[in-house]
Amino acid sequence: MTSHVFPVQVYYEDTDHSGSVYHANYLKFFERAREHALGVDEVVRLLREDGIGFVVYRAELTYREAAVFGDALEIHTTVTLESDYRLMFKQDARRAERLLVAGVIQLACIDRSKELAPIPPSVARRFSPSHK
Domains and CATH numbers, the chain: 4-124 (3.10.129.10)
Is 71 annotated in the active site? no
Q: State the catalytic residue, choosing from 14, 16, 71, 92.
A: 16
Select from 59, 66, 56 the least CA-distant residue to 14.
Answer: 66
Alpha carbon distance 50, 42 (integer Å): 11
pLDDT of 130: 61
10-residue mean pLDDT profile of the chain (132 residues): values are 88 95 98 95 95 97 97 97 95 97 98 96 82 50
pLDDT of 129: 67
Alpha carbon distance 14, 16 (integer Å): 7
Q: Give the angle 64-66-67 at the CA atoms, nearest 5°.
A: 130
